[in-house]
Amino acid sequence: GGFKRAEPTQTEIGLLMRALRDFNLPKLVEDDVVIFKGLLKDLFRDVYDSMPSKRDQDFESAVRRIVSESNLQPSDSFIEHVVDLQALLDTRHCVFCLATSGCNKTAAWQTLAKVWSRDGGRGATSWQDINPKAVTTSELYGYVN
Rounded CA-CA distance 84/13 in Å is: 23
Q: What is the CA radius of gyration of the chain?
A: 18
Torsion of CA 66, 121, 51, 26, to 10 degrees: 60
104 torsion bin: left (phi>0), alpha (psi -120 to 50), beta (else): left
For the segment 1-60, what is each residue's pLDDT rounded down to a tens digit?
Answer: 677 787 888 888 888 888 888 888 888 888 898 999 999 999 888 888 887 777 889 999
The full length of the chain comes to 145
pTM for the predicted model, two decimal places: 0.73
Distance of CA 43 to the CA centre of its chain: 24
